Amino acid sequence: MNGPLTPFSKSLHAEKYRAAGESFDESTNRIAAALTGGDRTRFLEFRRILREMSFMPAGRIQSAVGSTRNVTAYNCFVSGIIGDSFVEGDDSIMDRAKEAAITMRMGGGIGYDFSRLRPRGALIKKLGSKSSGPVSFMQIYNSVCQCIASSGHRRGAQMGVLRVDHPDIEEFIHVKHELGVLEGFNLSIGITDEFMVAVTQGTTFDLRWEGEVYSTIDARALWEMIMRGTWDWGEPGVLFLDTMNQENNLHYCEVLEATNPCGEQPLAPFAACLLGSFNLTRYIYSTPDVTSSGINVVRYDFDWDQFRADIAPVVRAMDNVIDVSSYPLPEQEREALAKRRMGLGITGLANAAETLGYPYGSEEFLAFERKVLMYLRDEAYYASSSLAAEKGSFPLFDADKFLESGFAKRLPPGVRTAIKLDGLRNSHLISIAPTGTISLCADNVSSGIEPVFSKSVVRTVQTFDGPTQQTVEDYAYATWGTEPKECKDVTAAEHLAVLLVAQEYTDSAVSKTCNVSPDMPWSEFKAIYMDAWKGGAKGCTTFNPEGKRMGILKAAMAKDSEGSCEIDPETGRSDCQ
């Protein structure tokens, strides 16, 4: 099967990833040719993978590689360090805002750590005035993002991070607890182990900046405030900074303080990552069988051999993206070439597992997820080590230090030996991204490692005669009659279990939303985050469908009786504002 089959997916793929008049097959020719260096055998192999949609590069790669568009092939970046100066120095607030504009204009999302900015009310000696604090300066970046969104490109995406020990953390927690504020940002709190220990022990915790303690607070009271915010408003999420750095393969040469907008890529200043996902539904095959009662049935299996065989050519092609991509900033190019990060993940996990008979979140489901990700991790690392023997390791590679990272210690002995002997081409290889649009382009396979939202949804399809409404069915339900366990029926514990399995085999991070029941006990809700930290997650996000944000959105939609006002439930944007 080549390319999307449904009208909606065909239309979406053409709109998002192809030049005017370019067919799906022509787009795969373009991408495969650009990423296989003229080798005919490798071109045919990688093109087959692309045409079957067994592996789907992230949108920036699909639209940028081999095209005439002036966009980067990278989906996500993290800003350079934002220093505590408005205009002076190379790391000033305004310099970083300018760099953010350049990055977003070329199609890249970007994350920032605002923790180096002095707190609200702190004295600025040089000016004889007081600081308005990091939250106020975030408005500058928000305005830049909105301007880029209105200039004809895709909507800008940003992640804003503030450490939990920053004196302005309470203001940060509450800033988006009304619609229309910092809409260009997702927000996350950088949580430290020190804070989590204080929460578990019920002790006090210092809020400080540049070594000066501004106040001492009750850790559990601040934790309660954070939990209330995410329960009611879905933000801010949390990032576990110490886990991110202890697990980091490059713990010896970089510090991670922020992530890309969706949280699956903790990145150093100016770092970027290439993303792409294996579509697990393409490895499901059926065989006729007969039951013991003589009834003809169809059995479904997973083609493990083909899945493993496809990983090495994908690693090689994605490694080549690093060399052919354009970069918004020279600092980003230097960082990419020094570390050669990529983030391979999966999509269609729920569709594939449930077609095999494993309900989402069940023990059988988790075992299948674990096996898939173990194969992906091991084969990707073997392939990268083989590439290193052929082309050289990434410049900052140090075998002994690399193998001491928390993640590298869990690699199997054979992989560790290969790295020790031949090196490694890429510092990071695995990342679980949301895959929203590319999954829709593959005839609506289940997104990433998330459950199926619904068996069918109504989508707008652009046709020659104008937009029409079409019902888009879940891929596995439409193709194999698989009855999914829909998102509303998945428990928070099941969501968390799926997240923790994924993180165990992922060297970067996992984008995953744990949907929660509005009537679950408060203690159980808070336990999700505590258990995520204890279980080794690098972050956690939950969504309460009856929280205050959704309540305001529903009220706004109900208020518009004629339906002329459209509101995006994800961002809170209204075209009536």
- The answer, yes or no, to whether residue 443 has pLDDT greater than 60, is yes
Nearest to 526 by CA among 257, 245, 221: 221
Tell me: pLDDT of 576 over 50.
Answer: no
DSSP per-residue codes, 45-110? HHHHHHHTTSEEE-HHHHHHTTSS----S--EEEPPP--S-SSSSTT-HHHHHHHHHHHHHTT-EE
Q: What phi-psi label fits residue 83: left (phi over 0), alpha (psi between -120 and 50 degrees) or beta?
A: beta
Question: Mean per-residue pLDDT for 424-451?
Answer: 96
Task: Note the pLDDT tens digit of each residue in 289-348.
Answer: 777 777 878 899 999 999 999 999 999 999 999 999 999 999 999 999 999 999 999 999
Q: What average pLDDT does this structure show over 197-216?
A: 97
Residues 6+ apart with CB under 8 A from 355: 281, 284, 300, 476, 480, 482
pTM of the model as a whole: 0.92
Of 370, 372, 371, 158, the closest CA to residue 280 belongs to: 372
Q: Do residues 423 and 453 make contact, with C-beta atoms less than 8 angstroms apart?
A: no
Phi then psi for residue 173, to 5 deg, are -60, -40
DSSP code at position 510: B
Report CA torsion sign: 373, 374, 378, 379.
negative
CA angle 452, 507, 248 (to 5 degrees): 140
Mind listing the pLDDT tens digit for each residue in 238-273? 999 999 999 999 999 999 999 999 999 999 999 998
In this structure, which amino acid lies at residue 100? A
Q: CA of 6: how far to CAs of 3, 459, 551, in Å?
A: 10, 12, 34
The whole-number pLDDT of residue 291 equals 72
What does 140-200 look like in DSSP terms, one character per residue? HHHHHHHHHHTTTSSPP-EEEEEETTSTTHHHHHHTTSSTTSSTTEEEEEEE-HHHHHHHH
**Could you give the angle at which helices 522-534 and 492-504 cross, rounded to 10 degrees?**
10
Question: Do you know the residue count of the chain?
Answer: 577
Q: Are 467 and 461 in contact (CB under 8 A)?
A: yes
Give the model confidence (pLDDT) of 142-151 as tens digits.
999 988 864 4
CA distances from 40 to 35, 380, 388 (A): 11, 22, 22
Whether 201 shows a pLDDT value over 80: the answer reads yes
pLDDT at res. 149: 62
Single-letter residue type at 343: G
| Main-chain phi, psi angles of 479, to 5 degrees | -90, -45
Q: What is the DSSP string of 263-293?
A: SS-EE-TT-EEEEEEEEGGGGEEEEEEE-TT
